[in-house]
Structure 1
Amino acid sequence: MSFSPALASYGLAVRLLAPFAGLWLKSRARKGKEDASRLEERFGRYAQARPTGAVIWFHAASVGESGVALSQIEAMAARAPSLSFLISTGTRTSAELVARRATPRVTHVYAPLDSACAVRRFLNHWRPDLGVFVESELWPNLILAAEARRMPLALVNARMSPKSLARWRRWRAAGARLLKAFAFVAAADARTAEALSDVRSAAVPMLGNLKLAAPAPRIDAAARATLSEQIGARPVWLAASTHEGEDEIALAAHATLRAKEPSALLIIAPRHPERGEAIAALAGGAPRRSRFEPIGNANVYVADTLGELGLFYALAPVSLVAGSLLPHLKGHNPIEPAKLNSAILTGPHVESFQDVFGALSAAGGAKLTPDADSIASAVLTLWRDEAARTRQLDAARAATAQGAGALETTVERLLQLAPPNATAKAAHASA
Structure 2
Amino acid sequence: MSLPLVIRTYRAATTVLEPAVLGLLYWRQRKGREDRTRLGERQGYPSRPRPKGHLVWVHGASIGETLSLLPVVERLTQRGLSVLVTSGTRTSAALIARRLPPGAVHQFVPLDVPRYIRRFLDYWQPDVALVAESEIWPNTVVALDQRHIPLVLVNGRMSDRSFHRWQKMPRIIGALLERFALCLAQTSEDAERFARLGAPRVLVAGNLKFDGAPPPADPRAVAHLSGLVAGRPVWLAASTHPGEESAVVAVHRALAQRHPGLLTIVAPRHPHRGEEVAALAERAGLRAGRRSQGMHPDRATDVYVTDTVGEMGLFYRLSPIVLMGGTLVPVGGHNPIEPAKLGAAVLHGPHVHNATEIYSALDEARGALMVKDSATLARAVSELLGNTALNRDMARAAADAVQALGGAVDRTMHSIEPFIVQAKLGARR
How high is the TM-score relative to the length of structure 1?
A: 0.94
Instruction: Tell me how far 1:192 sits from its aligned partner.
Output: 1.4
Equivalence for 1:427: none
Correspondences of 1:38-49 after superposition (within 5 Å) = 38-49=38-49
Instruction: Tell me how far 1:90 sits from its aligned partner.
Output: 0.6
Equivalence for 1:5: 5
Instruction: Tell me how far 1:224 sits from its aligned partner.
Output: 1.5
Question: Partner letter of residue 332 of structure 1?
Answer: H
Residue from 384, 387, 391 that aligns with 1:382? 384
Output one character per residue of 1:171-211: Cα deviation in whole Å (capped at 9) or x when no partner.
11121111122211111022211111112264622221111
Write the distance in 1 (CA, Å) between the matches of 2:155 and 2:35: 28
Correspondences of 1:273-292 after superposition (within 5 Å) = 273-284=271-282, 286-292=288-294
Return closer, same or farther for 1:325/1:77 CA change in 2, 3 Å cut-off: same
Residue from 299, 302, 324 that aligns with 1:299? 302
Output one character per residue of 1:23-59: Cα deviation in whole Å (capped at 9) or x when no partner.
2222222222111111110000112111001111101
Return closer, same or farther for 1:24/1:256 CA change in 2, 3 Å cut-off: same
RMSD of aligned residue pairs (Cα, Å)? 1.7
Correspondences of 1:101-180 after superposition (within 5 Å) = 101-180=99-178
Instruction: Tell me how far 1:16 sits from its aligned partner.
Output: 4.1
Aligned length: 421
Equivalence for 2:418: 416
Write the distance in 1 (CA, Å) between the matches of 2:305 and 2:76: 38
Residue from 402, 405, 408 that aligns with 2:407? 405
Are residue 233 (structure 1) and residue 231 (structure 2) matched? yes
Write the distance in 2 (CA, Å) between the matches of 1:319 and 1:68: 20
Question: Helix, strand or coil: the match of 1:136?
Answer: coil
Question: Helix, strand or coil: the match of 2:98?
Answer: helix
Structure 1 residues not aligned, in runs of 5+: 425-431
- Matched-pair contact (CA < 8 Å) for 1:153–1:184: yes
Write the distance in 2 (CA, Å) between the matches of 1:17 and 1:68: 34
How high is the TM-score relative to the length of structure 2?
A: 0.94
Return closer, same or farther for 1:341/1:290 CA change in 2, 3 Å cut-off: same
Write the distance in 2 (CA, Å) between the matches of 1:47 and 1:61: 19
Instruction: Tell me how far 1:420 sits from its aligned partner.
Output: 5.4
Question: Partner letter of residue 71 of structure 1?
Answer: P
Task: Determine what percentage of the aligned residue pairs are the same residue.
Answer: 42
Write the distance in 2 (CA, Å) between the matches of 1:244 and 1:49: 41
Q: Which protein has greater RCO, CA pairs closer than 8 Å, 6+ apart? A: 1
Correspondences of 1:64-83 after superposition (within 5 Å) = 64-78=64-78, 80=79, 82-83=80-81
Equivalence for 2:256: 258
Question: Helix, strand or coil: the match of 2:184?
Answer: strand
Are residue 51 (structure 1) and residue 54 (structure 2) matched? no
Return closer, same or farther for 1:378/1:250 CA change in 2, 3 Å cut-off: same
- Matched-pair contact (CA < 8 Å) for 2:182–2:201: no
Equivalence for 1:341: 343
Structure 2 residues not aligned, in runs of 5+: none
Output one character per residue of 1:129-188: Cα deviation in whole Å (capped at 9) or x when no partner.
110011111111111101111111111111122121112222111211111222111110
